[in-house]
Chains A and B, each alone.
Chain A
Amino acid sequence: MNAASLIQAVKDRFPDGVKASHSYRGDATVILGREFLLEAARKLKEDTVFQMNFLMDLTAVDFSTFGTKRSPAFFANSGIAVSPSPEIPDADPWPGPPGGHPSAGAAPGTPGTARFVVVYHFFSLPLKHRLRLEVPVGEAEEAEPEVDSLSSLWAGADWLEREVWDMFGIRFRGHRHLKRILMYEGFVGHPLRKDYPVNKRQPLIGPVN
């Protein structure tokens, strides 16, 4: 199934759950409400139209500083001339209001008002099609973002969800053993959050440097 009909098929089944969708160069993406996630995932796995039996990736994005500052050019302070060529436009690659929702006309990728987006990549081995599911979590007033665990449907989600918990601090409801997978016990904070200081070190041994 192609990207447009995949998106339409999801929309038909979850008319309330699908907040927005886009397909950039054939990559179908559906932005789904959090409360519909488990149901939609089960549908994607078991419905004969989708047959998404392979969860390829599960990760998250922190949008809290998205669009608020420009990323510095590589080696900008090294004295080496690395400024981009004039053919490359200097404009913001993500125009639109920061935090604007795709349905409101902003570029795809901005999550609305939510801080995080949990991203799921599904693939169907029998039908050879892919779908990306984005679930916005963590509104401003929410201290501990939480989303349903998919480990009951795909066993491979277990470690991926532990990684997302470790790096972003997003909890997964129904996960049987949610503990850090990459960082060590005693590590404080979640290092891939944008508010984790880049220089902050928590060594187990030796000086803090």
Chain B
Amino acid sequence: MSDHAGFFTSRLDEAIGWARKFSIFQYPFVTACCGMEYMATACSHYDVDRFGAGLPRFSPRQADVLFVVGTISHKIAPVLVRIYEQMAEPKWVVSFGVCTCTGGFYDNYATVMGIDTIIPVDVYIPGCPPRPEYVLDGLVKLQAKIQSQRSSGQRPPPEVRPEFER
């Protein structure tokens, strides 16, 4: 009996994952020059709509993937965290560009050294800025991650970046 139940939940999980990964509603949190590359990716030339991510929502309540695009300064960081907290579960975060991944070449008073210091991140897309093909690759990787997520348990915790000696 329990075997049958396991069969059904895993089939159901797969169906839900399939539906979710092809209906990504993204919230573009665009702060800097990476935004141009994001627009290039989103527009018809590269066309993220092929992957079901063609409809950005400009309300965090309606979005399920947060695209953090561009340098995050310490001044905007509380806003980013609030946006993330306003999004409904299940939610994922894509770190777009090297500034959001690690701070990039900024090492100064103004810049957050990677958004994973303040919110969990699922997919890192480095590059300054990343090419659209690179972004699409990250999107496909995110889809694989969404597909493999199981409703039976909590989502796996994101990788923790090791502490570096300064």
A205 within 8 A of B: yes
Once the chains bind, are B78 and A205 in contact (CB under 8 Å)? Answer: yes
Once the chains bind, are B117 and A206 in contact (CB under 8 Å)? Answer: yes
Given contacts A206-B118, A207-B117, A209-B113, contact A184 B108 (CB under 8 A): no
Once the chains bind, are B112 and A206 in contact (CB under 8 Å)? Answer: yes
Fill in one digit per residue for A190-209: 1 if any B CB lies within 8 Å of its CB, else 0. 01000010111111111101
Q: Which residues of B contact A202 (CB under 8 A)?
A: 74, 109
Once the chains bind, are A200 and B109 in contact (CB under 8 Å)? Answer: yes
Determine the residue in chain A with the shortest Cβ distance to B119: A206
Total A-B residue pairs with C-beta atoms closer than 8 Å?
Answer: 39
Once the chains bind, are B118 and A205 in contact (CB under 8 Å)? Answer: yes
Q: Which residues of A contact B109 (CB under 8 A)?
A: 191, 196, 198, 200-202
Determine the residue in chain B with the shortest Cβ distance to A201: B109
Within 8 A of A (CB), among B79-101: 81
B50 within 8 A of A: no
Once the chains bind, are B112 and A203 in contact (CB under 8 Å)? Answer: yes
Once the chains bind, are A198 and B107 in contact (CB under 8 Å)? Answer: yes
| A191 to B118 alpha-carbon distance, docked (Å) | 23
- A residues neighboring B (CB under 8 Å): 182-184, 191, 196, 198-207, 209
Known: A184-B75, A198-B107. 16 other contacts (CB 8 A): A182-B75, A184-B74, A196-B109, A201-B109, A203-B74, A203-B77, A203-B112, A204-B74, A204-B77, A204-B78, A205-B74, A205-B81, A206-B77, A209-B113, A209-B117, A209-B166
A-B contact pairs, 22 of them (CB 8 A): A182-B75, A184-B74, A191-B108, A191-B110, A196-B109, A198-B107, A198-B108, A199-B107, A201-B109, A203-B74, A203-B77, A204-B74, A204-B75, A204-B77, A204-B78, A205-B77, A205-B81, A205-B118, A206-B77, A206-B117, A209-B113, A209-B166
